[in-house]
Amino acid sequence: MALLRTLKGIAPAFGRDPFLAETAVVIGDVVMGDGCSVWYNAVIRGDVNSIRIGHRVNIQDGAVLHCTYQKCGLQIGNDVSIGHNAIVHGCTVEDKVLIGMGAIVMDQVVIGTGSVIAAGAVVTQGTVVEPGSLMAGVPAKRIGEVGKELSEGEIERVARNYGMYAGWYKE
């Protein structure tokens, strides 16, 4: 069973039908919507500020979600995929976003709806990513627009598939 820890009297809260891998860690002021999955060795630390996660969000293996004390909470929209070993810190991620493997998203970033943050990209503090942007590099720069093929073929497919994968573990 996942490590779920109450901290300072605040326990994590989950919507309907979550999947929490046995080695996932969720601490403190974390609220998740329906159909979310938190995979192996992922850590969600709502210890220094609040973390709010929408519906059908998948937080893949080794990802770290955290905040900055008294400064930056973390907001994640619906149908978001956070790739393996990504770090998402004190920012806002709108709906239908794919954050690639090993990407880093820093404090006070806003990632617009329908965007893709490429694997290994570093989105620096305070960056505002326009909706539908494809971002890559260190530091991350807009290298294109997310078209229908990328939206359906990656953002929506990955989000949908992780819901399916979670179901396999519940059988």
Where in the chain are the domains? 3-170
User: Tokens 């620096």 map to which residue?
Assistant: 124
Helix (H) or strand (E) holding 168: helix 157-170
Rounded to 5 degrees, φ, ψ at 12 are -60, 150
From 80, 84, 70, 85, select the one nearest 29 (Cα to Cα): 70
Residue 37 and residue 139: Cα distance in Å, rounded?
A: 29
Structure confidence at residue 9 (pLDDT): 98
Token pair for 109? 């970033």
Token pair for 15? 């919507």
DSSP state of 7: B
Q: Burial letters for 89-102: b for 16+ Cβ neighbours within 10 Å, e otherwise? A: bbbbbbbbbbbbbb
* Among the four given CATH numbers 3.40.50.300, 2.60.120.380, 3.40.50.150, 2.160.10.10, the one describing domain 3-170: 2.160.10.10
Structure confidence at residue 50 (pLDDT): 98
Rounded to 5 degrees, φ, ψ at 47 are -95, -35
| pLDDT tens track, the chain, 171 positions | 899 999 999 999 999 999 999 999 999 999 999 999 999 999 999 999 999 999 999 999 999 999 999 999 999 999 999 999 999 999 999 999 999 999 999 999 999 999 999 999 999 999 999 999 999 999 999 999 999 999 999 999 999 999 999 999 988
Helix (H, G, I), strand (E, B) or coil at 81: strand
